[in-house]
Structure 1
């Protein structure tokens, strides 16, 4: 069995979190799937993977209050109770789910922001949160009011740095004017390239770290999901537009390109997909999720892969202009 004592570091923290004094590993670990959405999970295995990630040099871990709901923060609280000084923890608020797991809407009201933070701190067993994200913007609340409440958490010592998730360039600028935003988290991968249009430029201008979630296209770009039936019955992806039979078939062209490049570079499709994301922005951090140590090591291996200018041009030329199916 793999133990922490037998695991060797694979990376070192090298990316600044915005203009803060924190440094992140270029690849973090998304922890959502350890609690729900992607089929059955094993808590003991998840904790072994979390500890292995630290041993391999990963120091950036991403969760949210709605994952579980609530149980993912509790899991990380148990796993890292005696190790908080070794890592940077990001969590989020703003999407509301009931205990029945049903979606209840968005909430960015100042009073709720404070309540959500207190609840997360209690579940994590911490006195402060390193990076606190607004998970989604509440359409009924001006972003200045929500970020103003988040600023209050920083002033109270409950949060160190602020982040936003899935906002427009204009929202990002308005929020940053209220209080410095250190990170913007948005989906980005070979089949979700929308941030290239404006968000990369705005983040560079304002000194904001871009955090790419789902860099493996929720697993599709690994080539390990040949069809919808390969997903378990309780897998959230069965409801996603990109995981319907017709869209999966249409999007196999992405996988075919990745597998062709993987064969040439003696890598895996997942490693090529991750390496490509990292090659697009030197200040970018990815947070692919996994519950297995073997997959974690495979993902980290992507950081050793580089593309020549010719290969980059070839990949761009081969990419379809449109991805079949909406992201949500």
Structure 2
């Protein structure tokens, strides 16, 4: 009886182990696909997002000023300005903050407008409508612009606009001073606006890299394909559907570079490195692009990921196994080959 019971218990334990392994495998696959879909969704949303602004903002109409209710702020980076009703002094808005034009303030003082109340710009600043954004993507915006153009280098080694320096000086009790006109000499810092994600076959995709440093950096792009083992190639290379363009930005210490792929394919997936270089140093930023497409197999839609995802998935499972202190061995044999690529499940762990 004891042997019989132990055999049954052993079978149950084996089933529980198999169930657990299957569950963990499904969790890993779900996590990878979720991360990929999230990245693809973010990229798609950035391309197609159209901000809509509906409704009105109701405010109390301004009454006769009661100065006894006014309290004067003590720490204002951009100095003091009048509030919506022109009665009390409040902190002025800083550079690049959303603000209200004078014609909007006139409407807001009467208590009703189709725009929200942001406030007035502070010292040496002017509220203007932005001209550097597409109003079809981002609705019309007014922000505070510094009236004194150009950059300066502070005694702390950081680069400021004139208004930014004034704002920092207000909080530092004038311990921060201007060291020289123009940007501070520093090595570049590279930053990608999109970190990568899943890309459909034939889709157009653009990577944007901004480098900040002075002297202004030279920017180049390099691609490392799956299995290249550290070898990279300078872009656009021999790809006819890849272009690289670089232009200056608002300030003399900024440069923006665009890498555009007009017809994404399997041979173009991998790690794309933006390299910013000047005489003081080098910095890089990397985006990973993976080919993803849906195909029909026996009238069932299957998501096929490029070969780049397979080593990433193996690493994820290995890390997960180590974390929960279990040993997972998954073997999946599948002879299916789609467009010279392995089916997603056709690999061993």
Higher helix share: 1
What TM-score do you get using the length of structure 1 for normalisation? Answer: 0.22
What TM-score do you get using the length of structure 2 for normalisation? Answer: 0.21
Higher strand share: 2
Structure exhibiting the larger radius of gyration computed from Cα positions:
2
